Amino acid sequence: MVKISPSLMCMNLGKFEEQISCLNKKIDYYHIDIMDGHYVKNMTLSPWFIEQLNPYTSIPTDAHLMVTNPIDYVDQLLELNVEVISIHAEHLNGHAFRISELLKKHRKKMGVVLNPETPLNVIADFLHLIDIVTVMTVDPGFAGQTFVTESLEKVRQLKISREEQNLSFEIQIDGSCNEKTYKQMIDAGADILIVGKSGLFNLDENIENAVTMMEKNLTAAINL
């Protein structure tokens, strides 16, 4: 089964405890979008949010750094026991070997994020260091954007490269993961789907009902 990672910038923060309590029973990761208003023109969650989340869950967190200087956040996120630190390829380039060594020392995972326009050759020289490759199927920074189908070819190529090079990284998709796209994403080779408003939180006001609907949609897509 594909793994599920809810994007918590899309949750109802007014029902924080209720929603986290329900999700804790059902999901594999929590996806935390950290934006500084510079790398993308939006501001959402922060390391402070992870600090508030930690007492309520043992689910591993994946911090997606959409910030101008992501390397500056790494030590703070390690102190918060973040499981995966995901950095956009253009910012990880030049730091990948050092950051990989640091994260392995702390037994944490290094993620790299590819925008729709970012070619795979940008990460070719350090692909063997990566634990999770996140393929953006929307432009970064905002929820509810149009699905970029062209990004699925990148997922297919990553799957081929993983097999040819005998690597073990997981392929994660971020953007428009919902009942209309699940099958395409899974068929392309996705291991982890990041679900936001259209895939989870807007399905029903009641989080338990929303999770049930998400699971039914996912199962239907897998069985098609």
| 174 included as an active-site residue | yes
Evaluate whether 208 touches 26 at the Cβ level (below 8 Å): no
Q: What is the DSSP pairing of strand 109-114 with strand 170-174?
A: unpaired
Compute φ and ψ for 30, nearest 5 degrees: -110, 130
Give 29-70 pLDDT, tens digit per residue.
Answer: 999 999 876 566 566 788 999 999 999 999 999 999 988 899
The tally of CA atoms less than 13 A away on the side-chain side of residue 111 is: 29
Residue 19 pLDDT: 97
Cross-strand partners of 87: 65, 112
Strand (E) positions, 67-180? 84-88, 109-114, 132-136, 170-174
Q: What are the tokens at 122?
A: 């940008």
| 62 included as an active-site residue | no
Residue 146 pLDDT: 80
Give 108-158 pLDDT, tens digit per residue.
Answer: 999 999 999 999 999 999 999 999 999 999 887 566 568 888 999 999 999
- Model pTM score: 0.94
Catalytic residue among 33, 62, 131, 191: 33
Give 59-112 pLDDT, tens digit per residue.
Answer: 999 999 988 899 999 999 999 999 999 999 999 989 999 999 999 999 999 999
Report the CATH number at residue 92.
3.20.20.70
The Cα–Cα gap between 138 and 173 comes to 10
Residue 58: other Cβ atoms inside 10 A: 6
Give 170-205 pLDDT, tens digit per residue.
Answer: 999 998 899 999 999 999 999 999 999 999 999 999
Catalytic residue among 62, 131, 174, 191: 174
Domain of 55, in residue numbers? 3-223
The Cα–Cα gap between 214 and 201 comes to 9
The Cα–Cα gap between 48 and 114 comes to 25
How many independent structural domains does the chain possess?
A: 1
How many Å separate Cα 140 from the centre of its chain?
12
Q: In what order do the strands lie in the sheet with 61-66?
A: 3-6, 192-195, 170-174, 132-136, 109-114, 84-88, 61-66, 30-35
